């Protein structure tokens, strides 16, 4: 719907009418921009290999930190400690302390697939 069909100031002088139309035009553009910024939440799924690796970690609090960080991926790509990987089996990694969640993002179907959980060392990437 065009912005000028939403509001039609009648009975005002031309100067006030133009100012109001400009204000409503800006407000309409701002609202349109906000609608484009609305975050689409992604579904986070764990592959069996990643779940096995997570269960092998003995520290329960570390497991909770990793699970919490994975839940934060539902707001992908607006996450911190996230890096796109090149020349790698997986598209992204999420850093959680010395640990990495390696995952693929399928933005067209809103799915994050966590593939591996690894401790960072010289052979991680």
Residue at 66 is within a domain: yes
Residues 53 and 110 in one domain: yes
Inform me whether the pLDDT recorded for 37 exceeds 70. no
Residue at 124 is within a domain: no
Neighbours of 110 (CB within 10 A): 13
Chain segment 59-69, per-residue pLDDT in tens: 999 999 999 99
Residue at 73 is within a domain: yes
Counts for the chain of helices (H) and strands (E), in that order: 4, 5
Residues 100 and 55 in one domain: yes
Residues 76 and 50 in one domain: yes
Confidence of residue 12 (pLDDT cuts 50, 70, 90): low
Residues 75 and 106 in one domain: yes
Residue at 125 is within a domain: no
First to last CA, the chain: 50
Helices (H), 1-125: 3-6, 14-37, 48-56, 60-72
C-alpha closest to that of 47 among 93, 92, 90, 103 = 103
pTM, 2 dp = 0.65
Domain that residue 22 falls in: 3-37
What CA–CA distance (Å, rounded) separates 22 from 35?
20
């Amino acid at each position: 719907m065009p912005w000028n069909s939403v509001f039609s100031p009648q009975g005002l002088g031309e100067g006030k009418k133009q100012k109001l139309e400009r204000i409503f035009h800006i407000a309409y553009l701002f609202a349109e921009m906000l609608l484009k910024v609305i975050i689409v939440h992604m579904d986070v799924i764990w592959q069996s290999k990643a779940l096995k690796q997570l269960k092998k970690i003995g520290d329960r609090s570390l497991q909770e930190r990793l699970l919490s960080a994975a839940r934060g991926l539902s707001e992908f790509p607006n996450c911190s400690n996230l890096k796109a990987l090149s020349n790698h089996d997986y598209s992204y990694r999420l850093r959680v302390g010395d640990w990495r969640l390696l995952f693929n993002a399928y933005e067209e179907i809103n799915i994050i697939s966590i593939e591996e959980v690894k401790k960072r060392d010289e052979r991680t990437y």
